[in-house]
């Protein structure tokens, strides 16, 4: 367990804790990050025949499925991929797949982020690193300073033995078959805290001398991983939901309070305006009766003062509504204060009907309500009587 310090690094707080992180109760305060041990991860490096980042996810999933590894889609975000190196036509990727965490394999307090322990302990150039995790030896292969492969073993001896060396040789051979050849220039052995340690079989087994040293403090991996187990994701969603509810209640209360203040201010303004209008109404009340009398007199003069209701204007609009070449002729045009009455005849009924429709559709005659009787057949043709009444007259 490490704690972040102000200078940006980490200092070790404890070593040799319980085998299950769920049993670790004395976690320091602040934001928590968790590094999954190597045994909890499948590392699947491969060379992708593309440099398009949009394709990396699909290519990584296809590579894992070819190897028979498919994470539980209901267990959260259990996979991620990282760029190791790239050239003009291809990219070497490390696809990491997290095994579904079991009971006790997650801390009691929800971490903010997750990553791989092998990514946090870095080595320069092409190198092999070996250390103990949870009482077992694990190793990692680095290419150009970036993690390419990591594997947990079942060996728990005090120093690396031939079995661990064989596993490393086998891993290097498998990478070479995939076109991911790595020739280690450095071998680092990190013994447990408090032990002097020895390189054992790794001293000369990889063709280069091994350096035994204290395991470095972790570094924050870059870029950050997207790993997120389902239990943690559900906890985050529940926390977010509760925060949204609290924020929504607070916002609603604030909005309600603002509405009360606004409504009270508006009511005060309305009451003030009402008093002002009441005062003005008392001062000008005698004018209202005179105004109504004036309006009534003006309405009586409407047929005279409105240009659209002048007899000549009405006859012009009526004449424009008569169909051309239909033989329609007017015999009587009675224009009075009650409206317009038109009497006439035509040789056929169709022009009469067209004339009736045109009168109703003429905008300048829309102030009249036309009540047009159907034309009547006579010995000389078809006679018609159309009446355009004022709306108030029609209502009466």
Bridge-based pairing of strands 91-98 and 10-12 is unpaired
Which residue reads 């009526």 in tokens? 318
Q: Contact, 215 vs 188, CB < 8 A? A: no
Stronger pLDDT, 31 or 310, i.e. the higher one: 31
Give pLDDT, residue 306: 66
Q: What is the mean pLDDT of residues 313-319?
A: 88
Torsion angle (degrees, nearest 10) of CA 48, 52, 55, 57: 80
Range scoring the smallest mean pLDDT among 72-81, 93-102, 304-313: 304-313
Cβ proximity of 100 and 75 under 8 Å: yes
CA angle 27, 31, 32 (to 5 degrees): 55
CA distance 128 to 369: 100
Which residue in 362, 350, 359, 357 sits closest to 325, CA to CA?
Answer: 350
Least confident of 84-93, 273-282, 328-337: 273-282
State in Å, rounded, how far the first CA of the chain is from the last one.
97
So what's the pLDDT on residue 183?
93
pLDDT tens digits, 151-203:
999 999 989 999 999 999 999 999 999 999 999 999 999 998 777 788 889 98
List pLDDT tens digits, range 104-154. 788 878 888 899 999 999 899 999 999 999 889 999 999 999 999 999 999
pLDDT of residue 396: 44
In sequence order, what are the residues at sequence separation of 6 or more whose Cβ sits closer than 8 angstroms to the Cβ of residue 146? 82, 83, 84, 85, 94
Dihedral over Cα of 16, 22, 24, 30: its sign? positive
Give the residue-averaged pLDDT of 79-96.
93
pLDDT of 392 > 70? The answer is no
Q: How far apart are CA 150 and CA 147, in angstroms?
A: 8
Whether residue 395 has pLDDT greater than 60:
no
Say what percent of the chain tops pLDDT 90. Answer: 39
pTM reported for the whole predicted model = 0.57
pLDDT value, residue 84: 94
Read off the pLDDT of each residue in 54-69 and give the average, rounded to a whole number: 92
Contacts 24+ apart (CB under 8 A), 190-196: 190/121, 190/129, 190/130, 190/131, 190/132, 190/214, 190/215, 190/216, 191/131, 191/132, 191/159, 191/215, 192/15, 192/16, 192/132, 193/12, 193/15, 193/16, 194/15, 195/158
């Amino acid at each position: 367990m490490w704690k972040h310090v102000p200078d940006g690094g980490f200092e070790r707080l404890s070593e040799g804790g319980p085998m299950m992180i769920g049993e670790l109760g004395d976690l320091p305060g602040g934001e928590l990050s968790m590094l999954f041990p190597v045994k909890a991860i499948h590392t699947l490096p491969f060379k992708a025949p593309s440099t398009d980042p949009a394709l990396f996810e699909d290519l990584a999933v296809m590579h894992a499925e070819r190897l028979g590894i498919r994470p539980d889609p209901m267990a959260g975000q259990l996979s991620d991929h990282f760029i190791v190196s790239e050239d003009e036509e291809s990219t070497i990727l490390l696809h990491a797949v997290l095994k579904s965490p079991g009971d006790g394999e997650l801390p009691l307090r929800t971490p903010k982020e997750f990553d791989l322990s092998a990514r946090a302990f870095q080595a320069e150039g092409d190198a092999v690193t070996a250390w103990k995790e949870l009482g077992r030896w694990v190793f990692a292969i680095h290419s150009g300073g970036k993690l390419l492969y990591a594997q947990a073993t079942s060996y728990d001896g005090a120093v690396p033995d031939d079995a661990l060396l064989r596993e490393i040789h086998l891993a290097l051979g498998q990478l070479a078959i995939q076109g991911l050849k790595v020739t280690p220039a450095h071998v680092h052995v990190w013994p447990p805290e408090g032990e002097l340690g020895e390189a054992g079989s790794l001293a000369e087994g990889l063709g280069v001398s091994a350096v035994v040293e204290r395991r470095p403090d972790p570094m924050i991996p870059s870029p950050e991983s997207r790993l997120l187990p389902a239990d943690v994701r559900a906890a985050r969603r529940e926390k977010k939901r509760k925060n949204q509810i609290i924020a929504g209640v607070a916002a609603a209360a604030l909005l309600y309070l603002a509405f009360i203040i606004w409504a009270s201010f508006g009511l005060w303004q309305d009451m003030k305006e009402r008093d002002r209008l009441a005062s003005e109404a008392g001062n000008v009340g005698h004018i209202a009766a005179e105004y109504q009398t004036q309006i009534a007199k003006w309405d009586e003069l409407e047929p005279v003062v409105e240009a659209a209701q002048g007899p000549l204007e009405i006859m012009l609009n009526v004449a424009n509504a008569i169909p051309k070449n239909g033989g329609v002729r007017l015999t009587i045009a009675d224009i009075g204060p009650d409206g317009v009455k038109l009497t006439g005849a035509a040789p056929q009924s169709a022009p009469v009907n067209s004339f009736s429709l045109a009168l109703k559709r003429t905008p300048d005659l829309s102030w009249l309500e036309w009540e047009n009787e159907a034309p009547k057949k006579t010995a000389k043709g078809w006679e018609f009587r159309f009446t355009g009444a004022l709306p108030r007259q029609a209502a009466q």
